[in-house]
Structure 1
């Protein structure tokens, strides 16, 4: 989940000052209330089922405890589940159990020095004990950047003293929060990125490209992304000794440029 939180004042749009902590609190409460409604219905169904099936008694007891937890305004994240209990709710898609990225929507003046912005500081302090990520962003600047050509975008960012687009930071943060990484394959006329779970081994990663590559896996030729970028091409990287050979047990790293050798 991604929540955009106002961290600026504008008398032409808003009659009240920003209150990021309160906005997040209200957002979290909405998630909890949504989950509570789902779990109350599930509890009702389980109670009816328990009349004919005594094995449902433990499920009912768990759901009663969980519903009471949500009723106290506590998120699903803070409930201590047993492994068997998680199986009971995984299909429900509980919102307050999902990872969250909060985006502090800043004024243009604070975009390059967000660490000094009072609203950003307030929001960061409010979130410090939560399992959430916080990213700074100025939506107005992002909108202006999106209308520029790629070459102009970097110049514009440098003029503002901003390292990279907030959109890029959001994509990276989303991948990290979900436990994903990407590796690349390079052809004569295209480069492709493949998304895998962090911790995936080379042979399994090869299967993302094609099942034949996983089945007939021999080895993986790997070059780090930064090395590939500096070399300018795969052949240059090989000639410079930057391409290494890895076996099927190799744990893929984010940004690996990969060539799979296989035989079927």
Structure 2
């Protein structure tokens, strides 16, 4: 089953996919462009992300595959839904997409073995974890300006039930810029698989329902520009779109509002 969170006529709804449309709980059928898409999981909980988790991507960057997961955390401010707008700093020279399989935890997990890890997965969705390469200190230390920028991690559109994905390590990932394919990879090239990551993470921290693990991106990164429509696709899960817009900094011509000055 595919489920999504949307805003429609001032309310938030959980909808399912039916014949390419959105089925509301009351039976009403909606088109994709009639609603505001939200992340399919409320990202207010813990979100763990990985760097260099694909062997081909590590090779692309002239790195040896890491021996241990390269982990960092993401704040909820970074997430937007399908068909949302991602802000690119107007001074940035290189901002690339990262098509990633996102694993959503379904049960409280602590000291979970790898062989039982699948039982703790609620489902899977797609993340596009944009990175502004200009601010990167190094790939082992992706700082806040690279990976915790507002609007820079579209998530969705669907949460696909874990039982509907036979093998999360047998999925094709693709990315398109303005309709032109720029990336193709495969989850079989993940260095640390979802079951390994659940075992590893739960060995020292509690994973709770709704927590998300972003599992990294394969090779094939390209620069993006203001105005680009970027679509990340994962086999069996769907297609996630976002449009890049300019992030205009405050200037003398854009003063703070009086209410913000008072605060």
Give the structure with the higher percent strand: 2
TM-score, structure 2 normalization: 0.20
Identify which of structures 1 and 2 has the higher relative contact order when contacts are C-alpha pairs closer than 8 Å and 6+ apart.
2
Indicate the structure with greater helix content: 1
